[in-house]
Homo-oligomer: A and B are copies of this chain.
Amino acid sequence: MSIRYGLLALLERGPMYGYQLRSAFEESIGATWPLNIGQVYTTLGRLVRDELVESLPEHEAGQRPYRITEAGRTELVGWFETAIGRIDRPRDELTIKLALALATPGIDVDRVVHTQRAASKRALQEFVRRKIRDTRADNVSGRLVLDAMIFQTEAEIRWLDHCAESIGGSDPRPGAEQP
Taking beta carbons and an 8 Å cutoff, which residues of A are in contact with B?
Answer: 1-3, 5-6, 9-10, 12-13, 28-29, 32-33, 76-77, 79-107, 112, 115-116, 118-120, 123, 127, 140-145, 147-149, 151-156, 158-159, 162-163, 166-167
Given contacts A93-B89, A115-B81, A118-B83, contact A151 B144 (CB under 8 A): no
- The reply to whether A90 and B90 form a contact with Cβ atoms under 8 Å apart is yes
As for how many copies of this chain the complex holds, the number is 2
- The reply to whether B33 and A115 form a contact with Cβ atoms under 8 Å apart is no
Task: Kindly identify which residue among B87, B115, B142, B166 contacts A140, using a CB–CB cutoff of 8 Å.
Answer: B166
- List B contacts of A149 (CB < 8 A): 86, 95
User: Closest approach, in angstroms, between the C-beta of A130 and any C-beta of chain B?
Assistant: 12
Task: Kindly identify which residue among B1, B116, B145 contacts A93, using a CB–CB cutoff of 8 Å.
Answer: B1
User: Closest approach, in angstroms, between the C-beta of A87 and any C-beta of chain B?
Assistant: 7
Q: What does DSSP make chain A's interface, helix, strand, loop or mixed?
A: helix
Given contacts A2-B96, A80-B112, A148-B95, contact A9 B101 (CB under 8 A): yes
30 chain-A/chain-B pairs, Cβ below 8 angstroms: A2-B90, A2-B91, A2-B92, A3-B91, A5-B93, A5-B97, A9-B101, A13-B104, A13-B105, A28-B102, A29-B99, A80-B101, A80-B104, A81-B112, A83-B119, A84-B97, A84-B119, A86-B152, A86-B153, A88-B93, A92-B148, A92-B152, A99-B142, A99-B145, A103-B141, A144-B162, A147-B159, A151-B159, A154-B155, A155-B155
